Amino acid sequence: MAEPEPPLSDVRTQRPLNAILWMVLAGLLFVAVTATVKHGARGLPAAESAFLRYVLGLAFLYPMLRPLREAKLTTPQKKLFWIRGLAHSLAIILWFHAMTRITIAEVTAMNYMNPVYITIGAALFLNERIASRRLIAIAAGFAGALIILRPGFRELTDGHLAMIGAAMLFAVSYLTAKLLADQVSPTAVVAMLSITVTICLMPFAVAVWVMPTPEQLFWMFVVAIFATAGHYTMTLAFAAAPVSVTQPVVFLQLVWSVLTGAIFFGEPADGWVILGGALIVAATTFIAIREAMLRRAAKELLT
């Protein structure tokens, strides 16, 4: 998933090897999230498994409560947080549903489309200009998605459609986060996401509730641990080096996904999924690097 990039580090403090290692670990952890959901959420409705993941994840929220109280959120900010929470909740439900219907590699590859949707959304709703080179990158991203889906050449399942919807809704979530990032501390943004998503997921989960087994509760807690660790290590990677160093490493996550699916779930490696995923990663890497270059140029103009 696309994450807001932190301020560019001073060249003297950059540690590219550390950044690459942290990003590799983050990719492994996110693949562990998808594999654990695929294994541990069997027999649970998507909305309920998503709700359990966030409820159990509230255990990691305690250190963030004080910064959240000190944030003194305004009414417009609270509205944006609830809009983001609802969009993220629907995206999570669709993602959990897709995870039980299609291969881990397909989920991972299609999730790479988030930055493409974010770029389009920023142009439509935030009046950001898209240069011709970024338009070519967006077209390449969609070409990659078509290679993965291959409509007309194979049957598209509800899992594929759910993953498309999930990626689009995640883009809405991150665009809203982009609006809030300049107004509220990152800790408050993360804390409010956890709270609003948990509350928004509750009615969906209650509507389809089945009593989870102790084993299912255990696996959903493991998902929460992996997800929290993944976001933390990714943050460390961003802090150690600019996106031009870390973004290309994202492709390894697709490699881990293919291997995990083949070894643990008997999912055959699909060359079309790998090719499409590689094309999407190339497109999103270009978009991320261009955004970093534009931010650097803007920063230099101000100094």
**Res 9: pLDDT:** 43
- Nearest 10 degrees: Cα torsion 20, 25, 31, 33: -140
Q: How far apart are CA 111 and CA 120, in angstroms?
A: 15
Place of tokens 């004080």: 66
Residue 44 gets which letter from DSSP? S
Residues with pLDDT less than 50, the chain: 1-12
**Res 8: pLDDT:** 41
3-state secondary structure of 263: helix
* pLDDT, tens only, 48-82: 999 999 999 888 888 888 888 887 889 999 999 99
